[in-house]
Structure 1
Amino acid sequence: MVRKMDRSGIQVRFYRATAIAGAGLSVVCIIGNGLCAFPLRLSIKWVVLFLICTTALFLLKREKYRVHMMFSAFVFLIFLFLPFAFLDSGGSNNNAVGYVFLLLISTTYLFSGWRRIFLAFGLVVVFMALHAAEYFHPDLVMVYSERSQFVDRMIQIPILLLVSFFIILHFAKEYERVNAKLDEYANIDALTGLYNRRMFNKAIEEAALDRENPAYLVLIDVDNFKRANDTYGHSVGDKVLQKLADLLQESFGYGRNNVSRWGGDEFAVIYYGDKNELSQRLEGIKNSFQDFITPYNGAADISFSSASVRVDGTVGQVLTQADHSLYQDKQKKHSS
C-alpha cells in the first residue's frame, strides 16, 4: 500500500512538472515566433499546447478524474496535436523527433498497463504515418524557407533540450527521494523511529570486527508490557515504547552507537565507550522511565543487561550472554 501511494504521488508530481514544462515551452516559442516575425499561424499550435497544459494543471486537483484526465491529455497530444504540429511546421525538417522522444519518456513513466502500451504504440504509429504522408503527399506539409527553418531550430532545439533536462532532472530527484524513503522503510522501525533488527545485525557484526574500539551490547526489555497494554490500551502501550526509544536515543544516539528496536518490547544498544559511564546512563534512563510511568501506577518497568562485544567471541555468544543476563535481572525482580 505504501509503495502504491508513493507511485501515485510521484506520477502526479512528474505529470505536474511535465505540464509546467509544456506551458513554459509554449510561452517561449510564442514569444520567439513573434520576435522573429514568423506568421501568426505558426503560434497556433503553441497556444493550443499552452491551453492543454494549463487546463491539465487545473484539473489535476480533481483526484477522482485524475487518471482519465492525464490519459486524455496524452491522447490529444499524440493523435491530434503532434500530427497538426508536424504538418504545420515543415514535416521532417522541423524538430518533431525530439518531441516524440519527450512524449515517449513521459508516457513510459506516467502510465502503466494497457494505457502505456496503447500510448507508446500509438505514438510509433502516428510518427510512421506522418512520415509516410509527407513522402507520398508532400503537398500536405507546409514549406518554409531555409532561413526560417534555421531560425526555428536555433530557438526550439535549445528550448527542447532544456525542457528535456528539466523533466529528466525531476525524474532523477524523485527516484532519489523514493530510494531514500525505501531505504528508510527497510532500516527504520516505524513506531519508534529507531533502527530495526536488520540494522542492528549489521552494526553488531561491525562491532565484533573492530579491534581498536571496545563496544558493549545492551539489551533493554519492558517489564509487564502486556499488562500495561491490557490495562490502559494499545495507545498507551505505544507511548511507553516511544518514550523508552526517545530516552535511549537521547542518551546513546550519536557517534558510532547504534540504538535499535530489537523486536516487540525489546531494544538493543551497541555502545562504544566506558563501561562505568554506560552503567550511569542506563540508571538515568531507568529513573526517567519510572518518572514517566508513574501516572499509570507504575504499570511497567525496564530491565537491562550488557555484555562486551569481544573480538575473540562470536556474535551469537555475545547475544546469548546478554540475553541470559537480562533473564537473570528479570528473575531477581520477580523474586523480590
Structure 2
Amino acid sequence: MNLSVQNMIELDSPTLIIAQAIVQWLLAILLMAERGMDKGTKYWVIALFIHGIANLLPFSRPYLPPVVAVIFYNFCVTTAFSFSYLAFARLVGQQAPLWLVLFPIFVMILTMSIYIDDIAMRVIFASIITGTQLILMAFVLTRGNWSGSEKLKGWLMYSTGLFGVGFIVRALFCYVKPELFIHLVAKSSFQSGLVIAGMIYIIFSTVVILLVRLDRLNKELSTLASQDSLTGLFNRRAFMHNATSIIASENFPVSVLMLDLDNFKKINDVHGHNVGDTVLKLCADALQDGLKQYGIIGRFGGEEFAAILPRADSEQALAVSEKLRLAIETINVNPDIRLSISIGVATSSSVSSIEPLLIRADKALYEAKSKGRNQVIHADLLALN
C-alpha cells in the first residue's frame, strides 16, 4: 500500500513536461478560435506557444550542441514570460516598457553563457530571473484599469506572485541541494511537483484571461444595446428602462423634459449630414453636461431628446431647462449656424408610469415650437390656459 502511494506521488516528470507542452498548445489554439482577439490575448497565445516549445527542448539536448540547447531553452522560457508580462499589462490597459520586456532575456542569455558548464548556477539564475518576471507580472495587475471581477484579479495576482516566490525559493534550494535540480527531465517527485504546479497555474491563468475577455465583451454588447451610436447618449429603449426604474423608486416629485433642436432639418439640407451629425454630437454633449447632477437624458430619434429629473419640482425643472436652453445657444459650429432648442416640461408628485408625463411634456414642447421656438414651456401652463 505504501509503495503504491509512493508510486502515485513520484509521477514521471518527463511525461508531465510533455503533457504540459500539449496543454499549453491546446489552450493557445482554444484562444485563437476566438474572433477579434485583443492584443493582450494575442500576447498570451504567443507565450503559450513559446513555452510549449521550451518544454520540449530538453529532450533535444542529445541531438544539439550543449551551448545551443541550454541557451535556446532558457531564451524561450524568458521570452514566454516576457510575452506573459505584456499580456498582463494589457489586461489592465497598460503599455509595458520595452526595456522591461527585453532586459530579462538579455540577462538570461548572458548568465547561461557564463555558467554554461555549471548546471546548479544556471538553475539558480534562471529561477531568480523567472521568479522576478512573475512577481513583476503580479505587480502590474495592481495598476491601470481592471474591467473584470475583483475576485478574479486577486486570485490571478496572488497566484502569479506566489508562483514567482516559488521560483525564488527554488533558487535557494538549488544553492543548498543542487542535486535535486540538475536533471530537468529526470524522474523526481520534487520536479514533478514543480511541473504540476506550473500546469495548474497556466490553466488557471488562461481561464481567468478568457473570463475577463468574456466580461469585456458582455459590457461592450450591453453598451451597444443601450447607447445611441452617434451621440453616446442612452437610446430610447435604455432611457425608458432607466426612467421606469426611477419612477418605480418613487423619487417624487419627478419631472420629464422633451427637447427638440430648432430648424435642424434646414441645417441638414443646407450644410449636409456631416455637419448635422456634428451638431447633434455637440448638442448631446452640452445637454449631458448640463444634466449630470440632475438626471438622465436619452436620444429619442432625429433631433429629439428626452430627460427625466428625479426629485425635481416644477420650479427646479424650469430652472434646469433654461440652463440647457442657454447652453445650446452658446454652441458655435460656424458663423452661418445659430443653434437653439425648444423644451417642454411636465412634473408629477405621484405617477405610476412615465408615459403620461411624456405625453404632457410633448404637448408642452409642441406649444413651445408653435410660439416661436427657443423657449421652455411647462405643461401646467397649458392646463391654466
Q: How does 1:1-40 map to 2 (within 5 A)?
A: 8-10=35-37, 13-24=40-51, 27=54, 40=61
Residue 322 of structure 2, aligned match among 278, 283, 289:
283
User: For the residues of structure 1 that align with 2:348 and 2:242, how far apart are their CA atoms?
Assistant: 11
User: For the residues of structure 2 that align with 1:282 and 1:313, how far apart are their CA atoms?
Assistant: 24
Residue 193 of structure 2, aligned match among 132, 154, 158:
154
Q: Secondary structure at the match of 2:279?
A: helix
> Following TM superposition, by how much is the alpha carbon of 1:221 offset from its aligned partner in structure 2, in angstroms?
0.4
Task: Write the letter of the residue equivalent to 2:225.
Answer: A
Q: How does 1:41-56 map to 2 (within 5 A)?
A: 41=62, 47=73, 50=76
User: For the residues of structure 1 that align with 2:337 and 2:218, how far apart are their CA atoms?
Assistant: 42
Q: Assess if the C-alpha contact under 8 Å between 1:219 and 1:323 holds in 2.
A: yes
Q: TM-score, normalised by structure 2?
A: 0.52
User: For the residues of structure 1 that align with 2:232 and 2:240, how far apart are their CA atoms?
Assistant: 17
**1:258 aligns to 2:296 (yes or no):** yes
> Following TM superposition, by how much is the alpha carbon of 1:254 offset from its aligned partner in structure 2, in angstroms?
3.5
Change (3 A) 1:214 1:42: farther
Q: Tell me the equivalent position of 1:271.
A: 309
> Following TM superposition, by how much is the alpha carbon of 1:239 offset from its aligned partner in structure 2, in angstroms?
1.8
User: For the residues of structure 1 that align with 2:60 and 2:243, how far apart are their CA atoms?
Assistant: 72
Higher mean C-alpha deviation, range 19-28 or range 210-219:
19-28
Q: Assess if the C-alpha contact under 8 Å between 2:254 and 2:309 holds in 1.
A: yes
Change (3 A) 1:177 1:294: closer
> Following TM superposition, by how much is the alpha carbon of 1:283 offset from its aligned partner in structure 2, in angstroms?
1.8
Q: How does 1:116-195 map to 2 (within 5 A)?
A: 148=187, 150-195=189-234
Q: Tell me the equivalent position of 2:152.
A: none
What whole-Å deviation, never above 9, does each CA across 1:201-244 have from its counterpart, x for those lacking one? 11221233233432111010011111001111212211211121
Q: Tell me the equivalent position of 1:92.
A: none
What whole-Å deviation, never above 9, does each CA across 1:40-73 have from its counterpart, x for those lacking one? 45997x959959x98xx9xxxxxxxxxxxxxxxx
Q: Tell me the equivalent position of 1:121.
A: none
Q: Assess if the C-alpha contact under 8 Å between 1:187 and 1:196 holds in 2.
A: yes
Change (3 A) 1:206 1:48: same
> Following TM superposition, by how much is the alpha carbon of 1:263 offset from its aligned partner in structure 2, in angstroms?
1.4
Residue 341 of structure 2, aligned match among 291, 294, 302:
302
Q: Assess if the C-alpha contact under 8 Å between 2:259 and 2:306 holds in 1.
A: yes
User: For the residues of structure 2 that align with 1:294 and 1:17, how far apart are their CA atoms?
Assistant: 46
Task: Write the letter of the residue equivalent to 1:16.
Answer: Y
Task: Write the letter of the residue equivalent to 1:14.
Answer: T
Q: Secondary structure at the match of 1:242?
A: helix
What whole-Å deviation, never above 9, does each CA across 1:118-141 have from its counterpart, x for those lacking one? xxxxxxxxxxxxxxxxxxxxxxxx
Task: Write the letter of the residue equivalent to 1:239.
Answer: T
Q: Tell me the equivalent position of 1:201.
A: 240
Task: Write the letter of the residue equivalent to 1:258.
Answer: I
Residue 371 of structure 2, aligned match among 316, 332, 335:
332
Residue 323 of structure 1, aligned match among 362, 365, 383:
362
User: For the residues of structure 2 that align with 1:15 and 1:215, how far apart are their CA atoms?
Assistant: 49
Q: Secondary structure at the match of 2:324?
A: helix
User: For the residues of structure 2 that align with 1:294 and 1:9, how far apart are their CA atoms?
Assistant: 37
Larger % of helix: which? 1
User: For the residues of structure 1 that align with 2:213 and 2:201, how far apart are their CA atoms?
Assistant: 18
Change (3 A) 1:227 1:149: same
User: For the residues of structure 2 that align with 1:297 and 1:12, how far apart are their CA atoms?
Assistant: 45
Q: Assess if the C-alpha contact under 8 Å between 2:255 and 2:346 holds in 1.
A: yes
Q: Percent identity?
A: 24
Change (3 A) 1:173 1:196: same
Q: TM-score, normalised by structure 1?
A: 0.59
